[in-house]
Structure 1
Amino acid sequence: MAAILLLFLLSTSIISTAVAQPKHSNISLGSSLTPTGQPVWLSPSGLYAFGFYQQDKGYAVRIFLAGVQQKTVVWTASRDDPPVPSSAKNILTTDGRLILRSTRDISITDSTEKVATASMLDSGNFVLYNSDQEKIWESFKYPTTTVLQGQKLLAGTELYSSVSDTDQSKGFFCLNMQTNGNLIQYPVANYTWTEWSAYWASNTFGKGDNVSLNLDNDGRLYLLNSAGVNIKDIFIGEYDTKETIYLMKIDPDGIFRIYSYKLNQDGNRSVIYNSSSDRCAPRSMRP
């Protein structure tokens, strides 16, 4: 009984710590973050955070699940750049740029339009708006390792595994939503790939143009064509949606998985789908 009470208090403390940070549904020009001061901008519920996350002996700018026990990085800016020191700043400048200021100024996005405001949404999407409150950039369109509920992996885009759970630099494996309708996984390190080098595929070649990978709020993972027609269910889902969220991630071992996260005091994380049960399959394809 004492152990259960301790677990409850611990999980409550972790979630409360995230929620206690200032929440920002509207981030104004001139706002800034520092690793040792205010490190993140939280979504309104405190579930997701955008800002500094420790890596090695420095910091990187990331979006991560903050309101659960098992904090999980879902997006990383300039992921192959070295970590920055604690003196770095992340600034939404008064002239409308989102930059990382360290030894030099690094643009966080590729938007050329002037930013008026920004928001960290409860969906996990970090969005920049112009003065007309139109979206001019969003993290959902530039995925790194993860697809969140309501997010699409569009035709011609891909996910790259990270080197490890603590090093979010590009790793050895890729999940590619090809323009020919096929979703494939293949190794990327020192390797010239072809369709034949894939170690996993959806086998939907030629099933439609502009096919996208989609994740629903019940854990369902599926492919839609440009007309919105489902051409393949990769995982049926139909899991609990109460106090539970789902994400799909390509892990450092080259397998993509769907994870469920409980938002109650238990805070449990579970794997509900693996693209392969053979952990040797991705490694066997590496040079």
Structure 2
Amino acid sequence: MVSPLFYSHLSLLILASILWILATVEAQRNVSVGDSLSANDKTMAWQSPSGDFAFGFQSIPTKQDRFLLAIWYAKIQERTIVWYANRDNPETDRDSTIELDNSGHLVLKDPKGKELWRSQRLTDGSQVSHAAMLDTGNFVIASKNSTNIWESFKYPTDTILPSQELDMGDHLLSTLVETSYSKGKYQLRFNSESFILNQIDMFTGKPYEAYFNFGNGSRLVFTESGYIRIQNLNGTLVEVAPINAVPKPDLYYYRATLDFYGVFNLYYYPRNPSGGGSWSVLWFRPMNICRRFINSTITSGRATFGTGPCGYNSICEPIQGRPNCTCPPGFSFLDDNNQYAGCKQDYASYPADCNPDGSTIGEDRFEFKPMSFADFPLGDYGVIKPATELECKQSCLLDCSCAVAILQDPTLSKDGNGTCWKKKIPLSNGWFDRESVDRTALFK
């Protein structure tokens, strides 16, 4: 005779199976035409089958009642955003909505019904079937003939994910600062025969020349195993990153992001963190972004690489792969909330301070503040050699145009002669390095 306890256990097993099936069906539910989400409902999002990724509205931590239409890592505490819509004006209000319409577009509207953004179509004439958030992090709109009408992987922002590729017409664009989603000043793009990093002019959007080159190739491939490779024109894949083996993909999440300070970072994060987790850098390029801008300009002989990581009149110091920006003596940040925007002189010389011959009026009002291991290698307008420290200071002091003099100490010079380089405002590509810079900057 079968025990009643057996039937009790069997009933519980069947119930658990039914609940699991229902949960699986719900997790894999496609987004139907007419389905929508609202920014005012934080609990609603379109999730991938595994729950690793979600598509919907994310609140902006630094701005009350402001949201992004985004894709993010849904299982980790940080909710890291890997894609967002409408880069020209990404922020939306509470009560904004996103809908999959019957023409096969995602349509973002503000609370008054004004259209803010709509997805482009990759194919014309196909009838929409559904949309879905995939476990790769790719959000797709599928047609009835099983092709993708649109997919987020084809319109990357500042991040790519494993299984994603960048082709010749694709690019990544950094954010402006760490806490903002506005367009930044760095690009990763294909140019002629290779993928490069370059700054862009913030006023025109035009690119400067490359400050880093990943090597020749027509496609950048982020593999599912966590490697970044370049595909040559003949189809060969060349390893770019990382140099060493990556942690197991089934244990870690990956992303590669062009960060707001101009470094392309490959990150990993434990899938099942114990006691909390965080993104760690596995690989990054360039290795020293402060020096990279300087070396690129010196090598080419042309100052066509942009303002550098820290902007004008600032000092760049590489710390753990990213630029640390400071203002030299006598200068302060243009924006106290953004150390990467550059610095301004606390006191600037004006025509009233200058004699007709260009000499300084009342030079006794000025003093020099030295900064060892600092240099502005570009843009000197006058060079004095040989020169002592006294001669260097005197020349800059009497010169109304001189804002800083760079002194090469005679005892550190190969030929035993000191050199003095005079600089005007604005100063570009300043950097600080105790090991590499053997000069002293004398700020007037």
Q: TM-score range by the shorter chain?
A: 0.7 to 0.9
| Structure possessing the higher relative contact order (Cα contacts under 8 Å, 6 or more residues apart) | 1
State the partner residue of 2:195.
Answer: 183
1:82 and 1:140 map into 2 onto residues whose CA distance is 17
Q: Aligned pair 1:284/2:308, yes or no?
A: yes
2:226 to 210, 219, 226: 219
Secondary structure of 1:280's aligned partner: helix
2:27 partner SS: coil
Residue 108 (structure 2) aligned to one of 83, 100, 110: 100
CA distance in 2: counterparts of 1:258 and 1:177, whole angstroms: 19
Comparing 76-85 with 59-68, greater Cα deviation is found at 76-85
Residue 383 of structure 2 corresponds to which residue in structure 1?
A: none
Question: For residues 94 and 176 of structure 1, do their structure 2 counterparts lie closer, same or farther at Cα, with a shift above 3 Å needed?
Answer: closer
Show the 5 A alignment for 1:1-287: 23-37=27-41, 38-55=43-60, 56-57=63-64, 58-81=66-89, 83-94=91-102, 96-102=104-110, 103=112, 104-111=114-121, 113=125, 114-178=127-191, 180-188=192-200, 189-190=202-203, 192-194=206-208, 197-204=209-216, 211-236=218-243, 238-241=245-248, 242-266=250-274, 267-280=277-290, 284=308
Whether contact under 8 Å (1:214, 1:223) holds in the other structure is: yes
The C-alpha deviation readout for 1:85-131, integer Å capped at 9, x for no partner, is 11111111345432112141244311155432000001000000112
Q: CA deviation at 1:24?
A: 4.6
When residues 100 and 184 of structure 1 are mapped into structure 2, their CA distance, relative to the original with a 3 A threshold, is same
TM-score, length-scaled by structure 1: 0.81
Secondary structure of the corresponding residue to residue 246 of structure 2: coil
Q: Distance in 1 between matches of 2:29 and 2:256?
A: 25
- Distance apart, 1:237 and its partner CA: 5.1
Root-mean-square deviation (Å): 2.5
Identity of aligned residues (%): 30
Look up the SS of the partner of 2:128 in the other structure. coil
CA distance in 2, matches of 1:240, 1:86: 40
Q: 1:220 to 1:98 in 2, by over 3 A?
A: same
Q: Which segments of 5 or more consecutive residues in structure 2 lack a partner in the other structure?
A: 1-22, 294-306, 313-444
Structure 1 unaligned residues grouped into runs of 5+: 1-18
> What's the secondary structure of 2:153's corresponding residue?
helix
* Aligned equivalent of 2:391: none
Aligned-residue offset at 1:39: 3.7
Aligned equivalents of 2:115, 2:74: Cα separation in 1: 27
